[in-house]
Structure 1
Amino acid sequence: MKKMTWNLITALLIAAFTLTGTAFSQEKKIVVGAKNFTEQRVLGLIMIELLQKNGFTTEDKTGLGGTLVARKALENGQIDIYMEYTGTALVTMLKEKEVITDPQACYDFVKEADLERNGLVWLPMMPFNNTYCLMMRKDDAEKKGIKTLSDLSAYVKAHKNEINFGTNEEFYARPDGYKPLQKKYDFQFGRKNIKKMTPGLLYKALEGGQVDVAMGFATDGRIKGMGFVVLEDDKNYFPVYNPAPVVKKETFEKYPELETIFLPLTDKLDTAAMTEMNYQVDTEHKPVEDVAKAWLKTAGLL
């Protein structure tokens, strides 16, 4: 009888510890999302590593899709956190028509407005600006005498239907994308000269000559790796795009330590660091996980 009682007590203690462990694990779980391009996947995995270091269990949902997919996933609770860009939120989510070109001013506006209107908290901002850009092959740009977007506009007007332009669907349709850009610079590619494709194919299409100009991202390592040049935005069309982790208000209230966890990135994750990581993944074909972890160790954050 005593043996049975002791066995029962032991079983209950084991069950209690198991349940406590499970509850603790659920309590400290964060689902991390990211969009479906290299830089976003790197940023997502950097967040995962830092969260795990600080006692969180994480679920990896990086590579979700485009901007609207990632945002909807956050709003619907499918993910708890992802990195968004200030300029994207300003124009696409908050529907502001006035472009803010000062990084801190843009961040401050977005942080306040997104919390007030949508109950979303913006954590500390990264110092690099991954703005959209238009790229050309270096030799082709020099041959045509194109250095700026104004130069491109003049060339397109003088050489009707000669230039093929590569873009993805999102940039073509965005309110801070192609259509307002052509209005700002007063030019228009012929309908047949616009080639829509996935972001991954754009760089190869430009390199191979299938397109003459392509949209890109300023911190993309393939710009250097493939010998492209970025055309100067001489009329300051593009907003600033500094990334920051974004969470729901209730998530932040539950885990206020998230701000402290990601704060060290604001001193270390600059343009050079992000561009190099993108280069290592896209040009040197290193695994995203290895690149993210190696940078964290080099930066003294792991």
Structure 2
Amino acid sequence: MILRKLLAIAVTLGLSAPVAAQEITVGGKGFTEQLILAEMTTRLLAANGFEVEKADGMGTTVVRQALESGAVDLYWEYTGTSLVTFNKVEERLSPEDTYERVKELDGAKGLVWLAPSSANNTYALAIRKDDPVTSGMTSLSDLAAAYDQGQEVLMATTAEFPRRDDGLLGLQETYGFEAGRANIRPMDGGLVFDALSGGNVSVAVVGATDGRIAAMDLQLLQDDKSFFPNYALVPVVRAEVLEANPQIGTLLEDLSGRLDDAVMQRLNGMVDVEGKSVEQVAETYLTEEGLL
């Protein structure tokens, strides 16, 4: 931003200014995984000669609007979020078809979905292995049966999960149960693990790549009816930016190809469990991979 302003002043004053690469604004959402990805992307592009500005910490709808308006040039999005939230597709699709559909739909809006990673941060429901309330449960059908039998199974969710069609609303319809308002504990996403570990709830809605799953030795209930959409992690770039800077596609697809659930759980855990900074984790990973 500062560079743009200086160049504008130079032009206004009739001064000659050095030719500079277009400044790239990297967007991101406000949770750990997204903060890490935005930081890694910023450092990777900067190391390859781009002027980069980072604008992370945004909500899902805000960062998407910023991408469409050109306020940000790229960010990492999840295929399921684009399919359900932004494009309102209710059809249940395979992971491959989900990617192809959002690539097509968003392509018409001037947004390019690059090659997807193998990381799938879909919704998952986690339980403690030593909780008598959920003892013997292995699947979401088991959880549904417990609710149908009138058992009190308290569930910690993010604030938006109970209202989402790809969240509790659709989950109840697919599995044929009604949790009941008394059993649902909406809260900030960062608190669901504390609620579960403290025994205040018996089930928690989590992201499948969260580093605290392994650290807390939690069990994820199998989505045996394949309800939750695929949430593959993919870099999305404005078409005009990619056309002017094709190297961005090469760099981000290289990074994307290295990411899977295990990698993201490890990186997320370094921040959320080990207490390392996002900046430290991003630099360490890129260095380990030979990208810096």
Would you say 1:133 and 2:130 are equivalent positions? no
Q: TM-score, normalised by structure 1?
A: 0.87
Q: CA deviation at 1:201?
A: 0.8
Q: CA deviation at 1:228?
A: 1.4
Q: CA deviation at 1:114?
A: 1.0
Q: CA deviation at 1:191?
A: 0.9
Change (3 A) 1:276 1:19: farther
For 1:280 and 1:31, the matched residues in 2 are separated by: 26
For 2:66 and 2:111, the matched residues in 1 are separated by: 13
Percent identity between matched residues is 44
User: Which residue of the partner structure matches residue 112 of structure 1?
Assistant: 104
Q: CA deviation at 1:109?
A: 1.9
More helix by share: 1
For 1:221 and 1:101, the matched residues in 2 are separated by: 25
Please give the residue correspondences for 1:180-259 in structure 2 after superposition, counting only pairs within 5 Å: 180-259=170-249
Q: Give the aligned length.
A: 281
User: Which residue of the partner structure matches residue 78 of structure 2?
Assistant: 85
User: Which residue of the partner structure matches residue 270 of structure 2?
Assistant: 280
For 2:160 and 2:54, the matched residues in 1 are separated by: 24
Residue range with higher mean Cα deviation, 106-115 or 83-92: 106-115
Could you tell me which amino acid in structure 1 is paired with residue 247 of structure 2? E
Could you tell me which amino acid in structure 2 is paired with residue 42 of structure 1? I
Change (3 A) 1:141 1:232: farther
User: Which residue of the partner structure matches residue 94 of structure 2?
Assistant: 101
**1:139 match: secondary structure:** coil
Q: CA deviation at 1:30?
A: 1.0
User: Which residue of the partner structure matches residue 6 of structure 1?
Assistant: none
Q: CA deviation at 1:299?
A: 1.3
Could you tell me which amino acid in structure 2 is paired with residue 96 of structure 1? V
Q: CA deviation at 1:159?
A: 3.0
Could you tell me which amino acid in structure 2 is paired with residue 180 of structure 1? G
Note if contact 1:30-1:59 (Cα within 8 Å) is conserved in structure 2.
yes
**1:263 match: secondary structure:** helix
Could you list the structure 1 runs, at least 4 aligned residues long, displaced by more than 3 angstroms after superposition.
none
Change (3 A) 1:290 1:127: same
Q: CA deviation at 1:170?
A: 2.6
Q: CA deviation at 1:141?
A: 6.5
1:182-234 CA deviation, whole Å, 9 max, x = no partner? 11111122212211111111111111122211110111110111221100000
Change (3 A) 1:19 1:125: farther
User: Which residue of the partner structure matches residue 286 of structure 2?
Assistant: 296
CA RMSD in angstroms comes to 1.9
For 2:58 and 2:279, the matched residues in 1 are separated by: 16
Q: CA deviation at 1:46?
A: 1.2
User: Which residue of the partner structure matches residue 164 of structure 1?
Assistant: 154
User: Which residue of the partner structure matches residue 74 of structure 1?
Assistant: 67
**2:57 match: secondary structure:** coil
Could you tell me which amino acid in structure 2 is paired with residue 78 of structure 1? A
Change (3 A) 1:143 1:108: closer
Match of 1:147 among 113, 138, 144: 138
Note if contact 1:87-1:240 (Cα within 8 Å) is conserved in structure 2.
yes
Structure 1 gap segments, 5+ residues each: 1-11
Q: TM-score, normalised by structure 2?
A: 0.90
Could you tell me which amino acid in structure 2 is paired with residue 146 of structure 1? M
Note if contact 2:208-2:261 (Cα within 8 Å) is conserved in structure 1.
no
Could you tell me which amino acid in structure 1 is paired with residue 188 of structure 2? T
**1:31 match: secondary structure:** strand
Would you say 1:124 and 2:121 are equivalent positions? no
